[in-house]
Amino acid sequence: MAAENKPDAFADERVSLEGRRFLRATGVKEILRFDETLVVLQMTERLLVVRGEGLALRSLAPEDGRVELRGRIDGLSYEQGRQEKGLLRRLFG
């Protein structure tokens, strides 16, 4: 099993954070949850969870898989996409 011959499933994903106030992500397949304190994005094979205050959608380009958020970003984490139901249950009770 040569790992170097396997295509990178995450190659289209990019996440950049500027000063904890602006987040840009590519490789977004769907926005699963969005409010002022929590955003859950379905990426290629996993979920990107963004926590913060005053989160707002600055730009959405679903055809390109791009999302831009602004607000105070307190945390970013990845969760496995297969655990989506369990994760969403843990996040939202």
Tell me the pTM: 0.76
Catalogue all structural domains in the chain, each as residue range(s) with its CATH number: 11-92 (2.60.40.2000)
- pLDDT digits over 18-29, tens only? 999 999 999 999
Q: For 33-77, what is each residue's pLDDT tens digit? A: 999 999 999 998 899 999 999 999 988 887 889 999 999 999 999
Is 93 or 66 the better-scoring residue by pLDDT? 66
User: How is 6-71 classified by DSSP, letter by letter?
Assistant: S--TTTT-EEEEETTTEEEEES--EEEEESSSEEEEE-SSEEEEEEEEEEEEEEEETTTTEEEEEE
